Amino acid sequence: MLKIATGKSHAKIILLGEHAVVYNEPAIALPLPDLNMLVTVTKRDFGQIILAENYQGPLSEMTEAFEGIRQLINRLLKFFKMPNLAFSLKIQSTIPLERGMGSSAATAVAIVRAFFALFETPLSNLELQRWANVEESITHGSPSGIDAATAAHDVPVWFMKGNLPEPIAMDLDATLIIADTGVHGQTGLAVSVVREQLQNDPIETQNHLTALGDLSRAARNFLAKNSADKLGPIMTTAQEHLDAIGVSHPYLNNLINAALEAGALGAKLTGGGVGGAMLALADNHADIEAIIAALEKAGAREIWVQKYQVKRG
């Protein structure tokens, strides 16, 4: 057993397939390795202490908002037959909270990796996701598993309801620019909007959902073949379908239009919609700078940038 160990993970973003994935169409999530999570577990003489940006104190006194983390740590300690182990656990993160970027899943993945490293125990990807879903199930009720799977991989994840998340190939020389509207996204409300549309206008709504699934299938191929010029229009077309089923928002549309006018290859909302964040794709530095400036001028509250590179050799 080590005296100190670390675990790392990163954020994720939904590239394509929001809402359609609820109705058995595929979704694609991308890793955001530049928005990362580091958990450090250090043995100490007394106490079980958590040190995070929004909580510092004993593990046993963590509030309801952190119940998933508390349960995960307790179950890991029980698994390793050391429930009374004295330790400090420090969480350092650059992942924004409640922006659809998988902060809770990234925390869980990093915690699991840190404890398995502390106890010098091998950890398979399947075990990692099973353990991470302990926290996700408590925090989110019925998680799809896509957040934990993407936080655990440095490649995109292909997800279909009822199936295990599947890592897929990516060879993309491009940059994602992610911008926050400042309007809190409402995933539950957005899901209800789509459900209502499907009940009252089933044919047209189903056509939009099917089209979103087809766009994800096409995008899978373009991701693997460094075809940013073809991936961008797919994103913009997906936004048109998402807007048609009622899950966009005037603030989202404003930022998306600003990005496109500034030279983005494509732009769309990401996640639940009805507020929240959008993303834009660019493949050269001049466009990236212009898009960021346009988003700032259009009122984006925060902006994050993720650069991807093609594999060499």
Domain CATH number, residue 61: 3.30.230.10
Instruction: Give 162-198 pLDDT, tens digit per residue.
Output: 887 888 999 999 999 999 998 887 777 888 889 999 9
How far apart, in whole angstroms, are the C-alpha atoms of residue 174 and residue 38?
A: 26
Contact 132, 108 (CB under 8 A): yes
Which residue, chain included where needed, has tokens 């009252």? 200
Helix locations, the chain, DSSP H: 67-79, 103-118, 125-140, 146-151, 187-200, 202-224, 228-244, 250-261, 285-297
Q: Are residues 21 and 115 in the same domain?
A: yes
What per-residue confidence (pLDDT) applies to 86? 97
Q: Last residue of some domain: 167, 195, 225?
A: 167
Q: Encode 279-312: b = buried (16+ Cβ within 10 Å), e = exposed.
A: bbbbbeeebbebbbebbeebebeebbbbebeeee
The residue type found at 183 is V
Q: Are residues 297 and 185 in the same domain?
A: yes
Give the pLDDT mean for 62-85: 92
Q: Last residue of some domain: 167, 194, 211?
A: 167
Q: Are residues 44 and 131 in the same domain?
A: yes
What per-residue confidence (pLDDT) applies to 275? 86
Q: Are residues 145 and 187 in the same domain?
A: no
Q: Is residue 275 part of a domain?
A: yes
Q: How many domains does the chain have?
A: 2
Contact 168, 155 (CB under 8 A): yes
How far apart, in whole angstroms, are the C-alpha atoms of residue 95 and residue 249?
A: 24
By the 10 Å C-beta count (0-12 exposed, 13-18 middle, 19+ buried), 159 is classed as buried
Q: Which of 278, 267, 255 shows the shortest CA–CA distance to 231?
A: 267
Instruction: Give 215-265 pLDDT, tens digit per residue.
Output: 999 999 999 999 999 999 999 999 999 999 999 999 999 999 999 999 999
User: 163: domain range?
Assistant: 4-167
